[in-house]
Amino acid sequence: MADSRPTVLLVDDEPLSLETMTRILDERFDVRSALDAEQAERILTEEWVQVVVSDQRMPGTTGVELLAIVRERWPDVVRIIISGYTDAEDIIDGINRAGIYQYITKPWHPENLLLTLDNACRLYQLQRENERLALENRMSAASLERRLSQQRKQVRRNFRLDAVVRGPNSPLHAVCDQLARVAPYDIPVLLTGESGTGKELFARALHYNSLRAERPFVAENCGALPDQLLESELFGHRRGAFTGAVADRVGLFEQADGGTIFLDEIGDVSPAFQVKLLRVLQEGEIRPLGTNQSRRIDVRVVAATNRDLDQAMADGCFRPDLYYRLAGVTLQLPPLRERPMDIAPLCERLIENTAAAFGIAQPELTEAALAQLEHYPWPGNVRELANEIQRLLVLGNGRPRLGVDELSPRIRGASAGEAGMVPPNASSCAAQDEVTVTAAALSLKDRVEQLERQILCETLEQCGWNKSRAAQMLDLSRVGLNKKLERYRLKQTAG
Ligand SMILES: Nc1ncnc2c1ncn2[C@@H]1O[C@H](COP(=O)(O)OP(=O)(O)OP(=O)(O)O)[C@@H](O)[C@H]1O
């Protein structure tokens, strides 16, 4: 996704109030909570917080005192007080000493709380934008251009075709050749292949090898959102277009103007949304939710799916007219189990990158370990291999050679005949009290939660339950991930 959620820190010595506020804010913000000033300062030191909301009365200190410290040490953070009773003098004192942005009086209303926090986050963004502009003004135009061009080169280098690792005689050579041939032309490209085969990597390579390389590349996972949210993400909305639309939002199609939009998991969008997307692609115009005005867009569309769209069309679940709009050229990425010649060079690259990232020496794999890795069917494809390499390096404890004994039990135990035997949705993840309910019987909120829970499970499994890595993949802090695991009562099962 292009945007990440703002982080809000709540400080209150009453656990119940913290819990109530967290429940309301959790949908829209990454919420951290602290029971006292000391805990709050620790979180502010460790995390990138945008807004602090503090209760005024706390044992041994006051909200204003805490926020005066915040103002001094983290001046960018927007500061809000919640208080049972405030008179004009309190407010003037708070503004003078701690630069309080707003006072919220108890009892507060959930909608007001959300609105205040949305405004506070906008203020934070405006402050940052002002700082950026001031910085840009200070830098000469020439040095700014030099820095930007270095950054662009770096990004392009990261997504050049040689970032795609492939061994001798790998089927990926043919895919890369095709990609290089279609990249310069403005035709839509559909990437198909199992999860983790590199569809997003190829989409980026396509963009950075195209004439649009200097313009934005914007990615959206279309399978993860309900229709209205997806529509607002992609096409934008006007303030008030629906409950919760508290400000205008520029959609991703507009953000990608002149560049490329990557629509991941396109096979998962609903039939109703397929009609909307088709109209946009046919007309070359988007209409943000809540407006009557269309805006022209100049965007190359690259879509990806791990579903069989031919089958989906035959089943009547995917519109053929949309398919033909998306699949100007189709590039099929074979699963890793069909290209064992890629395993050795991938391991080499992954060991090099992981060792550099962790600041440790690069170990070697024994031939037997490599042969075992080449046998294993890799249901999670390259993503699963990357996780295995990370695990190996961390648990290898600095040993210069790593053998079969160091591999994960499931990989150690795999034989060549097992390819394809791993069920796609096999899960080592369990909630303490599993309840199975059919989707149709659930509310939208429950279905979104069910989906969130499923994504958490899948990611943790892919990462071998390495929570730091899972948090990174999900763009969450470790604390945020732990909270979600607690909320869904998820834990790793044995084996
Ligand atoms: N051939 C390759 N060379 C180097 N890295 C690769 C290769 N294929 C995949 N990767 C890496 O593996 C990880 C997963 O790839 P990517 O996210 O592109 O897969 P995907 O097919 O888009 O997965 P999903 O369908 O789950 O979104 C990424 O870190 C990507 O850079």
Structure tokens given for 461: 């499994």
Supply the pTM of this predicted model: 0.58
The reply to whether 429-492 shares the fold of 337-418 is no
Q: Cα–Cα distance between 157 and 340 in angstroms, integer?
A: 26
CB 265 within 8 Å of CB 305: yes
When comparing pLDDT for 456 and 426, which is higher?
456
Q: Ligand 1 atom closest to Cα of 197?
A: 21
Cα of 201 from ligand 1 centre, angstroms: 6
Residues near 75 by Cβ (< 8 Å), separated by ≥ 6?
none
pLDDT one-digit tens code per residue, 63-90: 999 999 999 999 889 999 998 876 777 7
Nearest residue CA, atom 16 of ligand 1?
198
pLDDT for position 165: 94
Residues near 247 by Cβ (< 8 Å), separated by ≥ 6?
118, 122, 239
Of 382, 389, 390, the one to substitute when testing ligand 1's pocket (max ligand atoms within 8 A of C-beta) is 382
| DSSP tag of 120 | H
Cα 74 versus chain centre, distance: 26
Helix and strand counts by DSSP (H, E) for the chain: 20, 20
pLDDT for position 417: 44
Q: Ligand 1 atom closest to Cα of 385?
A: 12
**Would you tell me how many other CB atoms lie within 10 Å of the CB of residue 42?**
11
Structure tokens given for 303: 């879509």
When comparing pLDDT for 114 and 418, which is higher?
114
Tell which residue, 279, 315, 316, has the closest CA to residue 294: 279
Cα of 376 from ligand 1 centre, angstroms: 18
When comparing pLDDT for 289 and 385, which is higher?
385
Task: Write the Ramachandran bin of 468: left for phi over 0, alpha for psi from -120 to 50, otherwise beta.
Answer: alpha
419-446 mean pLDDT: 42
| DSSP tag of 373 | H
pLDDT one-digit tens code per residue, 332-361: 999 999 999 999 999 999 999 999 888 889
Q: Ligand 1 atom closest to Cα of 172?
A: 1
Cα of 164 from ligand 1 centre, angstroms: 9
Domain ranges within the chain, ordered by starting residue: 7-134, 153-334, 337-418, 429-492
Q: Cα–Cα distance between 130 and 215 in angstroms, integer?
A: 23
pLDDT one-digit tens code per residue, 477-488: 888 888 888 877
pLDDT one-digit tens code per residue, 407-417: 998 898 765 44
Q: Cα–Cα distance between 153 and 355 in angstroms, integer?
A: 24
Pairing relationship of beta strands 329-332 and 189-192 according to DSSP bridges: parallel
Q: Where are the alpha helices (DSSP H) in 224-293?
A: 227-235, 252-255, 271-283
Fold of the domain spanning 153-334: Rossmann fold (3.40.50)
pLDDT for position 454: 75
pLDDT one-digit tens code per residue, 298-307: 999 999 999 9
Residues near 348 by Cβ (< 8 Å), separated by ≥ 6?
none
Q: Ligand 1 atom closest to Cα of 306?
A: 25
Q: Ligand 1 atom closest to Cα of 165?
A: 3
Cα of 272 from ligand 1 centre, angstroms: 29
Q: Which CATH class is domain 429-492?
A: mainly alpha
Nearest residue CA, atom 29 of ligand 1?
383
Q: Cα–Cα distance between 470 and 459 in angstroms, integer?
A: 6
Q: At what angle do helices 199-208 and 172-182 cross, to 10 degrees?
A: 40
Nearest residue CA, atom 26 of ligand 1?
195
425-452 mean pLDDT: 49
109-123 mean pLDDT: 90
- 3 state DSSP class of 85: coil
pLDDT one-digit tens code per residue, 88-105: 777 778 888 888 988 888
pLDDT for position 261: 96
* Residues at CB less than 6 angstroms from ligand 1: 164-166, 172, 193, 195-201, 264, 306, 382-383, 386
pLDDT for position 420: 36
CB 61 within 8 Å of CB 37: yes
pLDDT for position 187: 93
42-51 mean pLDDT: 90
Task: Say yes or no: domain 7-134 is CATH 3.40.50.2300.
Answer: yes
Residue 367 has pLDDT above 90, yes or no: yes
Nearest residue CA, atom 9 of ligand 1?
198
Query: How many residues in total does the chain contain?
Result: 495
Structure tokens given for 22: 């967290």
Q: How confident is the model at residue 395 (pLDDT cuts 50, 70, 90)?
A: confident
pLDDT for position 438: 35
Q: Cα–Cα distance between 81 and 75 in angstroms, integer?
A: 16
Residues near 36 by Cβ (< 8 Å), separated by ≥ 6?
11, 13, 58, 59, 60, 61
Cα of 347 from ligand 1 centre, angstroms: 14
Hey, CA dihedral for 471, 475, 478, 479, is it positive or negative?
negative
pLDDT for position 372: 94
Q: Ligand 1 atom closest to Cα of 203?
A: 18
Q: Cα–Cα distance between 413 and 192 in angstroms, integer?
A: 30
Q: How confident is the model at residue 125 (pLDDT cuts 50, 70, 90)?
A: confident
Task: Write the Ramachandran bin of 160: left for phi over 0, alpha for psi from -120 to 50, otherwise beta.
Answer: beta
Nearest residue CA, atom 8 of ligand 1?
198
When comparing pLDDT for 5 and 373, which is higher?
373
ipTM tops the 0.95 cut: yes
Cα of 195 from ligand 1 centre, angstroms: 8
Cα of 473 from ligand 1 centre, angstroms: 12
Q: Ligand 1 atom closest to Cα of 201?
A: 18
Of 383, 454, 473, the one to substitute when testing ligand 1's pocket (max ligand atoms within 8 A of C-beta) is 383
Q: Ligand 1 atom closest to Cα of 202?
A: 18
Triad 471, 475, 481: Cα angle to 5° = 40
Cα of 380 from ligand 1 centre, angstroms: 10
182-187 mean pLDDT: 92
- What are the distances in angstroms from CA 188 to CA 178, 203, 273, 332? 13, 11, 19, 14
Residue 189 CB burial class (10 angstroms; 0-12, 13-18, ≥19):
buried
Of 160, 172, 176, 201, the one to substitute when testing ligand 1's pocket (max ligand atoms within 8 A of C-beta) is 201
Cα of 60 from ligand 1 centre, angstroms: 52
pLDDT for position 444: 65
Q: Cα–Cα distance between 9 and 36 in angstroms, integer?
A: 12
| CATH architecture of the domain formed by 337-418 | Orthogonal Bundle (1.10)
- What are the distances in angstroms from CA 96 to CA 24, 82, 120? 30, 17, 18
